[in-house]
């Protein structure tokens, strides 16, 4: 921390802005990182003695699989670094190596919380101090969630740098300034990192507000600065300027043997230390920089002293700071379900989440809101049906199996309940645009539907991935997969939505969530993010569960009417957990009711190809929430697999995580093959083709029913209908069918070659057309 303070003090004394450059550790190679840091510093020996330092502070990026605050350039660098095997341990080694070779400038680690959490926060901070790291910028760890982490930083004398965004409200700004211990990172614009053509016109005002509020704390401005002109103009408002994406671009565009030299030249160009006027810098870089500035607008820089930056306030100070004026939320601590939940999001989202929470609390307490919600029941197809599945019950020979028919809802799944509810909240908040993510397409279609109905602009982000082909599946099926995806896209487009295919990362639902979050940060004032499951930062899990609770509430009432009692068990499939939370929550205090969640076991929990987050995952932070996630030993998010796209997600709602830990609910995994058994049983015995997601619950419910007595009652949430999955089932049958003795194939031509029925029909259809 001291090194950072001294750096800003020196820059002040020299009358210049500090240059802070970012590079992702492990990009372009693990071995290059230490050398690149030295190259950035090159030209002098840092601060001792002050000579020709080109840059003043290095931000070393700790790569993460899901960097929601970063744009494509840094995201790509993260992906490459991870492929190269970069880890927190390797990044520490790079800093240690660079220090051994003489690196003097302060080094900040910039990254995301989960890898730090998994490393062990205390050990990480300690190891950082030993390696020569000076502080941290952790994009998704706002101070409310960082109380423990800041304590560790204080103990080791390292800096926790708070971020301030254009959306930060005055009371929060005051709070953030009050905890700054070395400098404040001001995010220049709403949105992600990346090179931008123009700078935010309000930046000067924002910096002025921060200066006035913080008094003597220096600020560094980042996000969107890439040229010398921008460096010079931003230096007028701030004590430091951060350049990131453009450094990554320079590295990407250089030959491996020239990378260090090119980066050094770039830094020289930014600070105006080119060959021609290098003599000026020999005498003092300060003069050259003063010359480059517009004297009229120069904001007084500052020197920070020890008294400005004591050890920092405690938790109560922080909470008080959040309540300085009436604007702050009346419920300052983010809601949690036991240890799960929270708001692990970039600073830019904090204010918007508070607005959403206020809007939701007001609506929830307003009977008129619920009247309006219920006035749309005829459109949604509510109340839903509850009926006995007689043949399924008979087959299992145990408890009565009842089906809660969410598949009969408008748009074919439970997703419409949440879509209507959130759109009504968005309208109350005056939002005119909706963004959403979708995996199976069901939430995308539900969102596009309600946007059409309520006249809102709609953009849906969708993972671009194709289902993985097995050797048995011929090349022409690839085309069919594209066609199937195109159909979902077409459905949403028919409804007037814009559909954005996310071709980044693993190209699945998780990347669609990343993109939706990024897009939301850029357009907060007009846009509501209509999240499709009980996931994400507070208040989303509570909002989604509240609207989906119609499932459990109706079930309770309807079974009472039919059987005069509560069910003995309720069962639901679990992707992010919205239909499950909606079914379970109304029964959570009825302890006689067993609650069974069924996750996607894919190829089996013993393999890496599954999406069973609760049954096979561990605690961590993803997409703004602390919950169970699927991750590796380094805290990087794992790729998932399920035959059903709607369950193919490496996180889960925090309320489900707390039910698991308190043993209130049990969570099991059904493999792809077992889901097919459920799919087949419901289709053949009840004449209902379920969604593949719901088929997991059917299988779990059947197994549970077998263990229960006749006369007992179990209700399965049939979350969606199977029309969307018929083709997937046909395609997977050659692989999965033999495992469960299910063969719908027709013999084709002579010999023993078989083709699944629908493939055969599609072929015939193709020939005919």
Ligand X SMILES: Cc1ncc(COP(=O)(O)O)c(C=O)c1O
List the catalytic residues.
Answer: 59, 70
Q: What does each C-alpha distance from 349 to 167, 230, 323, 431, 538 come to in angstroms?
A: 8, 25, 18, 15, 11
Q: What does each C-alpha distance from 112 to 63, 70, 352, 441 come to in angstroms?
A: 8, 11, 20, 29
Position among 691, 702, 708, 729 found at the interface with ligand X (CB under 6 A): 691
Give the range of 217-225, 265-273, 452-460, 689-697 binding ligand X by CB under 6 A.
689-697
Query: Is 440 near ligand X (CB under 6 A)?
Result: yes
Position among 302, 318, 409, 694 found at the interface with ligand X (CB under 6 A): 694
Give the range of 163-171, 439-447, 627-635, 740-748 binding ligand X by CB under 6 A.
439-447
Position among 577, 617, 624, 737 found at the interface with ligand X (CB under 6 A): 577
Q: What are phi and psi of 462, to 5 degrees?
A: -140, 130
Query: Is 719 near ligand X (CB under 6 A)?
Result: yes
Q: What does each C-alpha distance from 518 to 66, 71, 193, 224 come to in angstroms?
A: 11, 8, 10, 15
Query: Is 447 near ligand X (CB under 6 A)?
Result: no
Give the range of 29-37, 134-142, 327-335, 691-699 binding ligand X by CB under 6 A.
691-699
Q: Which residues contact 190 (CB under 8 A, 6 or more apart)?
A: 165, 166, 167, 348, 521, 522, 523, 524
Give the range of 35-43, 339-347, 577-585, 729-737 binding ligand X by CB under 6 A.
577-585
Q: Which residues of 504-520 are buried (b: 16+ CB within 10 A; e: fewer)?
A: bbbbbbbbbbbbbbbbb
Classified as helix, coil or strand, 44 is coil
| Closest CB to ligand X among residues 459, 579 | 579
d(C-alpha 688, C-alpha 708), whole Å: 24
Position among 346, 720, 734, 737 found at the interface with ligand X (CB under 6 A): 720
Total of residues contacting ligand X (CB under 6 A): 21
Query: Is 640 near ligand X (CB under 6 A)?
Result: no
Position among 442, 555, 613, 658 found at the interface with ligand X (CB under 6 A): 442
d(C-alpha 647, C-alpha 576), whole Å: 7
Please, what is the minimum distance in Å from the beta carbon of residue 443 to ligand X? 6
Binders in 203-242 for ligand X, by CB under 6 A: none
| Closest CB to ligand X among residues 242, 625 | 625
Handedness of CA 627, 631, 637, 638 (dihedral sign): negative
Please, what is the minimum distance in Å from the beta carbon of residue 215 to ligand X? 47
Q: What does each C-alpha distance from 693 to 386, 486, 610, 642, 698 come to in angstroms?
A: 19, 20, 13, 9, 9
Contact track, ligand X, 355-394, x by CB under 6 A? ----------------------------------------
| Closest CB to ligand X among residues 225, 652 | 652
Give the range of 47-55, 368-376, 391-399, 574-582 binding ligand X by CB under 6 A.
574-582
| Closest CB to ligand X among residues 168, 644 | 644
Query: Is 53 near ligand X (CB under 6 A)?
Result: no
Contact track, ligand X, 518-537, x by CB under 6 A? ---------------x----
Strands across the sheet containing 527-529 = 498-502, 457-463, 433-438, 527-529
Q: Which of 58, 59, 55 is nearest to 11 (CA)?
A: 55
Query: Is 682 near ligand X (CB under 6 A)?
Result: no
| Closest CB to ligand X among residues 80, 530 | 530
Q: Which residue is nearest to ligand X (CB)?
A: 720
Q: What is the DSSP track for 487-504? A: HHHHHHHHTT-EEEEE-S
Where in 464-565 does DSSP place strands (E)?
498-502, 527-529
d(C-alpha 103, C-alpha 261), whole Å: 16
| Closest CB to ligand X among residues 346, 577 | 577
Please, what is the minimum distance in Å from the beta carbon of residue 645 to ligand X? 7
Give the range of 37-45, 126-134, 222-230, 440-448 binding ligand X by CB under 6 A.
440-448
Give the range of 109-117, 419-427, 438-446, 603-611 binding ligand X by CB under 6 A.
438-446
| Closest CB to ligand X among residues 124, 679 | 679
d(C-alpha 681, C-alpha 687), whole Å: 9
Please, what is the minimum distance in Å from the beta carbon of residue 543 to ligand X? 13
| Closest CB to ligand X among residues 552, 575 | 575
| Closest CB to ligand X among residues 413, 506 | 413
Please, what is the minimum distance in Å from the beta carbon of residue 578 to ligand X? 3
| Closest CB to ligand X among residues 61, 690 | 690
Residue located via tokens 């995308």: 444
Position among 396, 521, 573, 600 found at the interface with ligand X (CB under 6 A): 573
Binders in 408-427 for ligand X, by CB under 6 A: 413
d(C-alpha 692, C-alpha 726), whole Å: 9
Query: Is 700 near ligand X (CB under 6 A)?
Result: no
Position among 443, 484, 510, 745 found at the interface with ligand X (CB under 6 A): 443
Q: Which of 46, 38, 40 is nearest to 10 (CA)?
A: 46
| Closest CB to ligand X among residues 168, 411 | 411
Query: Is 693 near ligand X (CB under 6 A)?
Result: yes
Query: Is 646 near ligand X (CB under 6 A)?
Result: yes
Query: Is 578 near ligand X (CB under 6 A)?
Result: yes
| Closest CB to ligand X among residues 348, 489 | 489
Position among 459, 579, 658, 759 found at the interface with ligand X (CB under 6 A): 579
Q: What are phi and psi of 474, to 5 degrees?
A: -80, 165
Query: Is 574 near ligand X (CB under 6 A)?
Result: yes
Number of Cβ within 10 Å of residue 428's Cβ equals: 15
**Residue 370 near residue 165, CB atoms below 8 Å:** no
Burial level of 253, CB count in 10 A (0-12/13-18/19+)?
Answer: exposed
> Which structure tokens are listed for 415?
């997703």
Give the range of 132-140, 201-209, 493-501, 568-576 binding ligand X by CB under 6 A.
568-576
Please, what is the minimum distance in Å from the beta carbon of residue 304 to ligand X? 48
Query: Is 642 near ligand X (CB under 6 A)?
Result: no
Query: Is 542 near ligand X (CB under 6 A)?
Result: no
Give the range of 206-214, 303-311, 346-354, 690-698 binding ligand X by CB under 6 A.
690-698
Q: What are phi and psi of 394, to 5 degrees?
A: -60, -45
Classified as helix, coil or strand, 337 is strand
**Residue 601 near residue 610, CB atoms below 8 Å:** yes
d(C-alpha 89, C-alpha 682), whole Å: 50
The 8-class DSSP code of residue 553 comes to: H
Q: Which of 716, 480, 709 is nearest to 597 (CA)?
A: 716
Q: Are strands 618-622 and 625-629 parallel, antiparallel or unpaired?
A: antiparallel
Using CB under 6 A as the criterion, which residues of the chain lie in contact with ligand X when the complex forms?
413, 439-440, 442-443, 533, 573-580, 646-647, 691, 693-694, 719-720
């Amino acid at each position: 921390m001291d090194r950072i303070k001294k750096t800003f003090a020196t820059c002040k004394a020299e009358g210049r802005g500090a240059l802070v450059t970012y590079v992702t550790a492990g990009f372009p190679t693990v071995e290059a990182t230490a050398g690149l840091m030295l190259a950035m510093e090159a030209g002098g020996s840092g601060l001792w003695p002050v000579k020709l330092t080109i840059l003043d502070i290095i931000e070393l990026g700790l790569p993460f699989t899901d960097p929601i605050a970063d744009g494509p350039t840094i995201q790509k660098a993260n992906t490459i670094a991870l492929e190269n095997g970069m880890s927190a341990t390797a990044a520490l080694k790079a800093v240690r190596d660079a220090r051994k070779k003489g690196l003097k400038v302060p080094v900040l680690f910039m990254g995301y919380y989960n890898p730090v959490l998994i490393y062990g926060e205390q050990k990480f901070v300690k190891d950082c101090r030993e390696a020569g790291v000076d502080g941290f910028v952790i994009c998704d760890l706002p101070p409310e969630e960082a109380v423990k982490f800041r304590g560790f930083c204080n103990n080791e004398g390292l800096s926790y740098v708070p971020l301030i965004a254009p959306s930060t409200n005055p009371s929060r700004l005051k709070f953030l300034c009050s905890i700054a211990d070395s400098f404040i990172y001001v995010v220049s614009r709403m949105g992600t990192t990346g090179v931008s053509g123009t700078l935010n016109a309000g930046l000067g005002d924002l910096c002025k507000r921060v200066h006035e509020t913080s008094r003597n704390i220096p600020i560094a401005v980042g996000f969107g600065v890439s040229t010398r002109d921008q460096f010079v103009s931003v230096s007028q408002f701030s004590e430091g300027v951060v350049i990131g994406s453009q450094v990554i671009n320079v590295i990407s565009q250089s030959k491996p043997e020239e990378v260090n030299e090119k980066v050094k030249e770039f830094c020289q160009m930014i600070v105006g230390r080119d060959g021609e006027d290098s003599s000026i810098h020999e005498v003092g870089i300060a003069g050259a920089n003063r010359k480059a500035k517009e004297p009229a607008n120069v904001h007084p820089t500052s020197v920070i002293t020890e008294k400005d930056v004591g050890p920092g306030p405690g938790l109560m100070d922080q909470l008080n700071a959040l309540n300085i004026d009436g604007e702050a939320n009346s419920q300052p601590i983010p809601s949690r379900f036991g240890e799960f939940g929270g708001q692990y999001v970039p600073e830019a989202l904090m204010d918007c989440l508070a607005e959403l929470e206020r809007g939701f609390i007001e609506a929830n307490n307003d009977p008129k809101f619920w009247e309006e919600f219920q006035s749309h029941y005829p459109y949604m197809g509510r109340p839903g049906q509850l009926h006995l599945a007689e043949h399924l019950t008979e087959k299992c020979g145990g408890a009565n199996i009842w089906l809660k028919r969410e598949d009969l809802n408008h748009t074919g799944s439970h997703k419409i309940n949440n879509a209507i509810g959130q759109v009504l909240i968005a309208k109350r908040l005056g939002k005119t645009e909706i963004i959403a993510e979708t995996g199976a397409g069901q939430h995308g279609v539900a969102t596009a539907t309600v946007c059409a109905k309520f006249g809102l602009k709609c953009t849906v982000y969708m993972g671009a991935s194709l289902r993985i082909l097995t050797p048995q599946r011929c090349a022409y099926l690839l085309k069919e997969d594209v066609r199937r995806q195109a159909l979902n896209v077409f459905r949403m487009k028919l409804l007037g939505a814009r559909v954005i295919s996310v071709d980044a990362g693993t190209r699945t639902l998780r990347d669609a969530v990343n993109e939706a979050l990024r897009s939301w940060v850029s357009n907060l004032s007009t846009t509501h993010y209509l999240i499709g499951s009980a996931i994400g930062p507070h208040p989303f899990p509570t909002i989604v569960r509240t609207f989906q609770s119609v499932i459990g509430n109706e079930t309770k009432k309807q079974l009472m009417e039919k059987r005069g009692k509560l069910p003995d068990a309720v069962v639901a499939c679990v992707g992010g957990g919205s239909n499950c939370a909606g079914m379970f929550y109304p029964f959570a205090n009825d302890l006689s009711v067993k609650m069974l969640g069924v996750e996607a076991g894919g190829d089996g929990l013993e393999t890496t190809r599954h999406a069973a987050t609760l049954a096979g995952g561990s605690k961590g932070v993803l997409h703004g929430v602390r919950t169970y996630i699927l991750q590796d030993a380094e805290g990087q998010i794992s790729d998932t697999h399920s035959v059903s796209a709607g369950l193919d997600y490496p996180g889960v709602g925090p309320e489900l995580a707390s039910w698991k830990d308190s043993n209130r609910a049990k969570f099991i995994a059904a493999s792809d093959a077992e889901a097919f058994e459920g799919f087949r049983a419901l289709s053949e015995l009840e004449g209902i083709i379920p969604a593949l997601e719901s088929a997991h619950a059917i299988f779990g419910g059947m197994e549970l029913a077998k263990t229960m007595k006749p006369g007992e009652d179990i209700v399965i949430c049939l979350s969606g209908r199977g029309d969307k999955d018929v083709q997937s089932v046909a395609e997977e049958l050659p692989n999965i069918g033999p495992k469960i003795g299910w063969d719908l194939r027709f013999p084709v031509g002579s010999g023993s070659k078989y083709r699944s029925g629908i493939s055969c029909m599609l072929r015939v259809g193709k020939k005919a057309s």
